[in-house]
Amino acid sequence: MISQLSWKIGGQQGEGVESTDRIFSTALNRLGYYLYGYRHFSSRIKGGHTNNKIRISTKPIRAISDDLDILVAFDQESIDLNAKELRSGGVIVADAKFNPVVPDGIDAKLFAVPITAMAEELGTSLMKNMVASGASWALLGLPLEVFNKAVEEEFGRKGAAIVEKNIEAVKRGAEFVLEQAGGPLDAFKLDEADGMQKLFMIGNEAIGLGSIAAGCRLMSAYPITPASEIMEYLIKKLPKFGGTVIQTEDEIAAVTMAIGANYAGVRTMTASAGPGLSLMMEAIGLAGMTETPLVIVNTQRGGPSTGLPTKQEQSDLNAMIYGTHGEIPKIVIAPASIEDCFYDTIESFNLAEEYQVPVILMTDLQLSLGKQSCEPLDYGKIEIRRGKLAENVPALEGHDLFKRYELTEDGISPRVLPGEKGGLHHVTGVEHDETGRPSENAVNRQKMMDKRLGKLSGMYIRDAIRVDAPSEKPDLLIVGMGSTGGTIDEARRALAEDGITSNHVTVRQIHPFPTELLRPYLHNAKQVIVIENNATAQLASQIKMNAGFADKIESLLKYDGNPFLPSEVHKACKELSANGNVQRV
Amino acid sequence: MATFKEFRNNVKPNWCPGCGDFSIQAAIQRAAANVGLEPEQLAVVSGIGCSGRISGYINAYGFHGIHGRALPIAQGVKLANRELTVIASGGDGDGFAIGMGHTVHAIRRNLNITYIVMDNQIYGLTKGQTSPRSAEGFKTKSTPEGSIESTLSPLEIAMSAGATFVAQSFSSDLKQLTSLIEQGIKHEGFSLINVFSPCVTFNKINTYDWFKENIVNLEQFPDYDPSNRMLAMNKIMETNSMLTGLIYQNTSRKSYEDLITGFKQEALAKQDVMITSGEFDKLVAEFK
């Protein structure tokens, strides 16, 4: 019996790879397994190799695996490209249609299943996904009725006949492969899962759900990979809550519309990726200057320019921290798990209104699009805090205006929404006085700059850094952010077997940088390694610049478009511990 | 009920003496009073440039944004609170150069807002460069030998973008302008009002006198039917876009707000933000 295994399906984009993965993993989720998915895809819709990989485990997992147990291939290219990942004794389930061959030097068992032929017998090659997932399911020796239940739910709306055909396709795939294999494969027999069905979702969906819970009722956005799922989710849901999604002509319109709507009192967000964020920068400055709450999601992808639009990267830190001209207060949060995506979205809306600043919620592609198990989300933890939102303010005298930018002790002024009789005031991106009127007065300028920039001093979000520090004086402190946490934890288990002690800090508050929280962990570690998906060590630079310790901070960088593998992190950490330096991945 | 004086504040505009923008400011104030608004029911969103300052010169909720983006900000305000009357305003550079993309799409989208362009055919605040509205051959600091680009017709663009309300006026004709702004505010959809607003400092060609000589007022044509799209297009071309008055109005198309599924009449900003646990459970169940 094993506690985890990895399964991958490959084929041409548009050929059913996604749907095979979806139905297979939905059924596994029903049995209570923990799942972690990875999508390899390109910036095209039809054609070109694509593959989806899922890791299946009886325990929580948050990383893709180094190796692969089962590869399902719709074409020879999928075998040629992915067979090297197979561990010795792995299995290939391939469509007999293309006379599959196992490449030289690969120790794998091949089952050629007439996937396309069986699907066509049942009426349509579209049912390839059912034959293939049925065969996979059978090899694992899992109960077929659970799978059939998932099929019923997927196709129920299309009628009993369609359900029946799909169940038949599953059965044929399963029976064929079992006959070839002589029954389920003992080597792939998974321990029973806990039977507790988990939530199974992508980070973008968790963000969408979180925004509804946060009271966000408008989203203005422009489509872009890998952010579009957020708007697609919200356009399905927001009308039920009185709101809507508006697809704008560009990202500048998206962000400025969100600013207008937030100014007028509706929690509104926009979401984009690097190119869109670059276009939004001037407007982010406007939100900072006018103290208008604003939530922007940046689902990081490979940059610069169009870069690697469908690949993993964490290279927007500097742009998010420093982007926009002049100096404004701004919060940048990097959720590190699917649960974070939900709770941090809610918190982003609260912080944006409490501090009256733009908040950038910065995920990365793997976190945004990797489908994974999620712990139950707690309704009781949803909290809406709107800060100094003034209502029923007294009437104004003569030409008086409401002091929207009143100088206060904490720098945060009462905010009033348009429509309020006693709240008339001006808003401008020009430097202004307490009522919002333009002013170039030098004394006023300094006061207003100090007011705005002082708002975030000492501000820490909940879990600004997330710490797992079993050792008081570890050999290594490993620092990461975003989706890399699970990979780092797996590497640490291997390091423990090597006798190397390690602590792990995940930086979640990227800006303002949580220097003082991080400092003791940096101080106590013999060596520090910062792990990030970019080429210029942007997180490590923040740490060195803010906290120091430059002489003991090393970096492990990866910017080839792929997430880190546990083995890569393990190897680099081991080398660092032994030699004092790190080779590039 | 508020009078036009209540839409005045005590800020002295930084426009040059004689600038056409003063009259546009007055027309907005009069129109707001004439349609029965109170200052807090009006939001004026403006762009950047001389004319962009207008949001600070009217006693109402004023939002002075960034260059070229008055329209998306104004649309955001309207979506959040449709009970407000929203006027977007700015210059020809703001709306037809840097912000042209937004202008066309705001027209297509047809939210119920009024867009008043203060069109002086030149960049004033940056001290005299060419604008998309400058005539060919027009000499400016950035076109010392005369502009070699064709002049853009906002009216033709608006018509082809599916506008439901297209008007043009002249800042000196306070009566017509006030009336058009009132009609624009009352129009259930996006209204574009392009207003010739002479720049007395940098534009020595398109002067008050020049406009008086060249403008064709639609009042001269008692039979003119602004609901006839083809007639409107013909008239625009016939007059080389130099006509004033209500050029086109389509009252049959619904505003964007009215077409959004489930969008209520009550301002979104006034609605409950907290979802119930039942609603939450239902949303979460989709991910099992």
Let me know the angle formed at the C-alpha of A190 by A187 and A193, rounded to the nearest 5 degrees: 175
**A250 close to B (CB below 8 A):** yes
Characterize B123-159 residue by residue with b for buried, 16 or more Cβ atoms within 10 angstroms of its Cβ, and e for exposed.
bbbeebebbbbbeeebebeebeeebeeebbbbbebbb
**Chain B residues near residue A420 by CB distance under 8 angstroms:** 40
Q: Are residues A28 and A177 in the same domain?
A: yes
Tell me, what CATH number does A546's domain have?
3.40.50.920
Q: What are phi and psi of A52, to 5 degrees?
A: -120, 135
Residue type, A411: G
Which residue, among B215, B180, B214, B210, has the nearest Cα to B198 in the 3D structure? B210
Query: Average of pLDDT values for A570-585?
Result: 84
Residue A398: predicted pLDDT: 84
Residue A433 domain-assigned (yes or no): no
Do A289 and A311 lie in one domain? The reply is yes
Find the CB nearest B83 among A262, A268, A419: A419
What token pair was written down for A191?
Answer: 């321990």
Residues of B in contact with A260 (CB under 8 A): 45, 63, 72-80
The predicted pLDDT at position A43 comes to: 75
Q: Tell me the pLDDT band of A237, cut-offs 50, 70 and 90.
A: very high
Dig out the tokens for A561 from the structure: 């478009």
Q: What is the pLDDT of residues B27-85, one digit of tens each?
A: 999 999 999 999 999 999 999 999 999 999 999 999 999 999 999 999 999 999 999 99
Q: Which parts of chain B sit beneath pLDDT 50?
A: none
Q: Which of A178, A197, A216 is the last residue of a domain?
A: A197
Q: Give yes or no for residue A582 having a pLDDT over 80.
A: no
pLDDT at A583: 62
CATH number of the CATH domain containing A166: 3.40.920.10
Q: Which among B39, B71, B261 is the nearest to A424, CB-wise?
A: B39
Whether A266 sits inside 8 A of B80 (CB atoms) is: yes
Q: How many other CB atoms sit within 10 Å of the CB of residue A281? A: 16
By C-alpha distance, the chain B residue nearest A342 is B284
Same domain, yes or no: A124 and A89: yes
Residue A121 resides in a domain: yes
Q: Is residue B204 less than 8 Å (CB to CB) from chain A? A: no
> Distance, in angstroms, between B27 CA and closest chain A CA?
20
**Total length of chain B:** 288
Question: Taking the CB of residue B79, how many other CB atoms lie within 10 A of it?
Answer: 30
For residues A520-534, give the mean pLDDT: 98
Asked which of A381, A404, A435 is the last residue of a domain, the reply is: A381
List Cα–Cα distances, A172 to A109, A128, A211, A309, B248, in angstroms: 20, 11, 43, 39, 66
Torsion of CA A457, A460, A465, A468, to 10 degrees: 130
Domains annotated for chain B, with CATH where assigned, are: 4-261 (3.40.50.970)
CA distance A211 to B163: 34
- Which residues in chain B touch residue A212, judged by CB atoms under 8 angstroms apart? 275, 283
Answer whether B268 sits within 8 Å of A266, measured CB to CB. Answer: yes
Q: Are residues A107 and A26 in the same domain?
A: yes
User: Which of A246, A268, A427 is facing B62, going by the closest CB pair?
Assistant: A427
Q: Which of B14, B268, B281 to mutate to test the interface with A (most CBs of A within 10 A)?
A: B268
Binning pLDDT at 50, 70 and 90, where does residue A153 land? Answer: confident
Instruction: Show the domain range for A485.
Output: 465-579
As a whole number, the mean pLDDT across chain A is 95
- What pLDDT is attached to residue A256? 98
Q: Looking at the structure, tell me whether residues A190 and A270 fall in a common domain.
A: no
In angstroms, how far is CA A49 from the centroid of its own chain? Answer: 23
In a domain, A440, yes or no: no
Same-domain check for residues A205 and A303: yes
- The answer to the question of residue A16 being in a domain is yes
Structural element, H or E, at residue A487:
helix A485-497
A377 and B283 in contact (C-beta within 8 Å)?
no
Backbone φ and ψ for A292, nearest 5 degrees, come out as -95, 125
Share of chain A above pLDDT 70, in %: 99
Chain B segment 45-74 residues within 8 A of A by beta carbon are 45, 53, 55-56, 59-66, 69, 71-74
Kindly determine whether residue B65 and residue A266, on different chains, have CB atoms separated by under 8 Å. no
Facing A418 at nearest CB: one of B77, B102, B277? B77
End-to-end CA, chain B = 56
Give a yes or no: residue A65 inside a domain. yes
Q: Into how many domains does chain A fold?
A: 3
pLDDT at A584 over 80: no
Q: What mean pLDDT comes out for the span A168-189?
A: 94
A231 and A157, same domain (yes or no): no
Alpha helix ranges (H) inside A184-250:
203-213, 228-237
Residues A277 and A311 in one domain: yes
Do A553 and A519 form a contact (C-beta atoms < 8 A)? no
The C-alpha atoms of residue A438 and residue A120 are separated, in whole angstroms, by 72
Confidence of residue A44 (pLDDT cuts 50, 70, 90): confident
Q: Of the given ranges (A162-171, A281-290, A407-416), which has the lowest mean pLDDT?
A: A162-171
Residue of A241, A339, A385 to mutate, interface with B, max B Cβ within 10 Å: A241
Structural tokens at position B206: 């398109």
pLDDT-above-90 percentage for chain A: 91
pLDDT at position B1 is: 81
Give the number of beta-carbon pairs within 8 Å between A and B: 195
What is the C-alpha to C-alpha distance for residues A583 and A574, in angstroms, rounded to an integer?
11
**Do A242 and A186 reside in the same domain of the chain?**
no
Residues A158, A274 within the same domain: no
- pLDDT (0 to 100) of residue A18: 87
Note whether A235 contacts B: Cβ–Cβ < 8 A: no
Q: What is the pTM of this model?
A: 0.97
B101 touches A at CB < 8 Å: yes
Tokens of A74: 């719709």
- pLDDT confidence of residue A302: 98
User: What are the beta bridge partners of residue B64?
Assistant: A428, B46
Is B273 in contact with A374 (Cβ distance < 8 A)?
no
Domain shared by A34 and A79, yes or no: yes
Is A418 part of any domain?
no
Bridge partner residues of A506 (DSSP): A466, A480
**Amino acid occupying residue B269:** A
Decide if A424 is inside a domain.
no
CB-based contact B56 A217, cutoff 8 Å:
no
Across A249-264, average pLDDT: 98
| Rounded-to-integer distance, Cα A242 and Cα B275, Å | 11
> Mean pLDDT across the stretch A20-47?
88
* Residue B206 confidence (pLDDT): 96
Residues of A within 8 A of B261 (CB-CB) are 239, 244
The answer to whether B275 faces chain A, any CB pair under 8 Å, is yes
* Domain endpoint, select from A197, A224, A254: A197
The predicted-structure confidence for A455-497, as pLDDT tens digits, reads as follows: 999 999 999 999 999 999 999 999 999 999 999 999 999 999 9
Of A24, A9, A168, A175, give the one whose Cα is nearest residue A95: A9
- Burial annotation B185-203 (CB, 10 A radius, 16+ → b, else e): bebebbbbbbbbbbbbbbb
Report which DSSP code applies to A291. Answer: T
- A175 C-beta neighbours (distance < 10 Å), count: 15
Report the 10 Å Cβ neighbour count for A378: 11
Q: Is B263 on the interface with A (CB under 8 A)?
A: yes
Residue A562 has pLDDT above 70, yes or no: yes
Q: Is A199 on the interface with B (CB under 8 A)?
A: yes
Q: Which of B79, B89, B271, B281 to mutate to test the interface with A (most CBs of A within 10 A)?
A: B79
The pLDDT confidence band at residue A585, using thresholds 50, 70 and 90, is: low
Q: Give B174 to chain A, closest Cα distance, Å.
A: 25
| Mean pLDDT within A323-350 | 98
Q: Are residues A151 and A219 in the same domain?
A: no
Please compute the mean of the pLDDT values over residues A516-539 and round it to a whole number.
98
In a domain, A415, yes or no: no
Amino acid at B126: T
Neighbours of B219 (CB within 10 A): 11
- With b for 16 or more beta-carbon neighbours within 10 A and e for fewer, the A313-335 pattern comes to bbbbbebbbebbeeebbbbbbbb
The answer to whether A154 and A23 are in contact (CB under 8 A) is: yes
Say whether residue A389 is in contact with chain B using an 8 A CB cutoff.
Answer: no
Q: Which of B62, B77, B284 sits opposite A426 (nearest CB)?
A: B62
